[in-house]
Chain A
């Protein structure tokens, strides 16, 4: 699996309130929610994002609320993956559980710039900045988590195990 697209770049501590503000959480409809993805930090995001594009951010991405709506709207906008220096733990679980690819890579998050074109291979964890020609190696997932990803999310993996 891989993704290829342009980079949207954000700083540290991007919280779930700016990813999907709570005022919209009176619905669980993913398509409706996705219209407001990143609205309070970057109102242009939903108008500019193209399938396969990549979010690159600093430390503690997805901190705050446990709302699964946050990785869900990013996935529904067809964002290819999120690369960050670190992820808040509930966001990390939620992304794995719903099948939004995420990668931890400090060097990539430091150097890749907004608008760069990147290619990300999830199987190897190699992130290639096509614009600069530089390559980065992301932290690999433990086998247990890789298995959830391969099976298409937590519930699919549980159902298969039954």
Chain B
């Protein structure tokens, strides 16, 4: 029986000829990742269990991104604990303020993750790197501790859902609209324990930023991982970037899928997930007059360069609506610098937005844009659960950068016009 793309990578990392869905395996890890929230718990477990050395200082990445620059004294203590551990173990991929970015934008950008890798990260959005043709999944802190100590993790080999993409996205849509549409269709546990494997001739028209965004939100359908085939777009992205030689795998022609979904990209429309679940999706154009108080453009889902370009095209020379607070957060320092160089930051400020250095802050209701009771936010982030961005009576609407920027100008949830985006 043929293997899926994910199963091929897992078999290779488990040293097995083949694997099948449901099989329990031990796989070698290429990168073990943690952030300033999850790494302290992992360090405590690592120490408590009596481990003294990490398996490979070059295969661990620790990124301070959730609450930095430190939002308070406790956050500062957690960052310090990560910093001290990284220093004591000579962790080569340690990213502190000034070098850091939001982890899932930073690791691909810096070439730390690449095609063919097997990666775990103590952050649920670690599934992002499937866009590069890697197996990558989120785990908890104890798995991170075990990974740092042994270089291995246990997995139950997943079965897969296949998403066969055809056509080309309309100009006012991006990867975010694709993944929101899919989650709306299959639900927040529609891919539970499974892989989401994308293929078909529609893949070629999706940029790497689209693919990273789509895989990023695979977890929002409950998936173990999302994965895109390696093509010219992947090769162009990895060239001169990967610090290790990429390895190219592909699904067997006779791979078995639990289900195949046909997705015609040309039929995708600007999509919004309404409170309080990412599956509660509606076409942006059909939402009527929903007045908003805040817009957030950023996060591991949509803080990349193309997202900033989209925001710039829509906001440049315009004014944010009265009564709307617009917060724009480029996801890495490289993206931030590019935004400065290209004059985007000036344009954002002139439009009435604020621009922050990279942080996950508002997405998880940490800091930098907390909502009061009754307030509504259109965000390019990934979750709209109760209380996610502040008060339990606040509301988060998930949307693309084009929809978020357009809504910032009108003050209501508004679908982007084709000609602007």
B41 close to A68 (CB less than 8 A): yes
- Does A97 count as interface, using CB distance less than 8 angstroms? yes
- Contacts A13-B189, A63-B189, A159-B49 given: A26-B139 contact, CB under 8 Å? no
A155 close to B222 (CB less than 8 A): no
| The stretch of B170-178, B252-260, B385-393, B402-410 that contacts the partner chain | B385-393
Residues of chain B lying within 8 A (CB to CB) of residue A26: 67, 71-72, 74-75, 78
Distance to closest chain A CB from B200 (angstroms) = 26
- Contacts A26-B71, A90-B139, A158-B150 given: A66-B383 contact, CB under 8 Å? no
B222 close to A66 (CB less than 8 A): no
Q: Which of A88, A142, A153 contacts B192 (CB 8 A)?
A: A88
- Contacts A28-B78, A89-B193 given: A63-B188 contact, CB under 8 Å? yes
A17 close to B364 (CB less than 8 A): yes
B141 close to A144 (CB less than 8 A): no
Which residues of A line the B interface, CB within 8 A?
13, 15, 17-18, 21-23, 25-28, 40-41, 59-60, 63-69, 71-72, 86, 88-90, 93-94, 97-98, 142, 144, 153-156, 158-159
A155 to B143, CA, bound (A): 8
Residues of chain B lying within 8 A (CB to CB) of residue A154: 142-143, 146
B188 close to A60 (CB less than 8 A): yes
Given contacts A65-B123, A69-B41, A97-B140, 5 further A-B contacts (CB under 8 A): A17-B387, A22-B66, A22-B364, A40-B386, A155-B142
- Does B45 count as interface, using CB distance less than 8 angstroms? yes
Which residues of B line the A interface, CB within 8 A?
24, 37-38, 40-41, 44-46, 48-51, 66-67, 71-72, 74-75, 77-78, 121-124, 126, 138-143, 145-146, 149-150, 154, 188-189, 192-193, 219, 222, 224, 277, 364-366, 370, 383, 385-388, 392
Residues of chain B lying within 8 A (CB to CB) of residue A158: 49, 146, 149-150
A90 close to B124 (CB less than 8 A): yes
Residues of chain B lying within 8 A (CB to CB) of residue A25: 37, 66-67, 366
Residues of chain A lying within 8 A (CB to CB) of residue B141: 68, 94
A21 to B146, CA, bound (A): 26
Among A15, A88, A90, A142, which residue has the most Cβ atoms of chain B within 10 A?
Answer: A90
Residues of chain B lying within 8 A (CB to CB) of residue A156: 49
Residues of chain B lying within 8 A (CB to CB) of residue A60: 188-189, 192, 222
A144 to B38, CA, bound (A): 25
- Contacts A26-B74, A27-B78, A97-B142 given: A68-B387 contact, CB under 8 Å? no
B40 close to A28 (CB less than 8 A): yes
- Contacts A60-B192, A64-B385, A142-B24 given: A89-B224 contact, CB under 8 Å? yes
User: How many residue pairs bridge A and B at CB < 8 Å?
Assistant: 136
Residues of chain B lying within 8 A (CB to CB) of residue A72: 41
Residues of chain A lying within 8 A (CB to CB) of residue B66: 22, 25
Closest 6 CB pairs of A and B: A94-B140, A68-B140, A155-B49, A26-B74, A22-B364, A97-B142
Of chain A, the residue at the smallest CB distance from B74 is: A26
A97 to B365, CA, bound (A): 27
Residues of chain B lying within 8 A (CB to CB) of residue A17: 364-365, 383, 385-388
Of chain B, the residue at the smallest CB distance from A40 is: B387
B222 close to A63 (CB less than 8 A): yes
Residues of chain B lying within 8 A (CB to CB) of residue A22: 37, 66, 364-366, 388
Of chain A, the residue at the smallest CB distance from B121 is: A66
Q: Which of A41, A63, A69, A153 contacts B386 (CB 8 A)?
A: A41
B140 close to A67 (CB less than 8 A): yes
A88 to B166, CA, bound (A): 30
Residues of chain B lying within 8 A (CB to CB) of residue A15: 383, 385-386
B364 close to A88 (CB less than 8 A): no
A97 close to B143 (CB less than 8 A): yes
Q: Which of B51, B122, B277, B392 contacts A13 (CB 8 A)?
A: B277
Residues of chain B lying within 8 A (CB to CB) of residue A67: 37-38, 140
What are 12 sample pairs from A and B whose C-beta atoms fall under 8 A apart?
A15-B383, A15-B385, A17-B364, A22-B37, A40-B386, A64-B383, A66-B124, A66-B126, A68-B38, A89-B222, A98-B142, A155-B149
Residues of chain B lying within 8 A (CB to CB) of residue A144: 24, 154
Distance to closest chain B CB from A71 (angstroms) = 8
Residues of chain B lying within 8 A (CB to CB) of residue A40: 386-387, 392
Q: Which of B143, B146, B364 contacts A65 (CB 8 A)?
A: B364
Of chain B, the residue at the smallest CB distance from A32 is: B74
A15 to B38, CA, bound (A): 17
Distance to closest chain B CB from A95 (angstroms) = 9
Residues of chain A lying within 8 A (CB to CB) of residue B150: 158
A156 to B46, CA, bound (A): 10
A60 to B145, CA, bound (A): 25
A97 to B48, CA, bound (A): 14
A98 to B49, CA, bound (A): 12
- Contacts A17-B386, A26-B67 given: A66-B365 contact, CB under 8 Å? no
A133 to B188, CA, bound (A): 34
- Contacts A13-B188, A156-B49 given: A66-B138 contact, CB under 8 Å? yes
Distance to closest chain B CB from A97 (angstroms) = 4
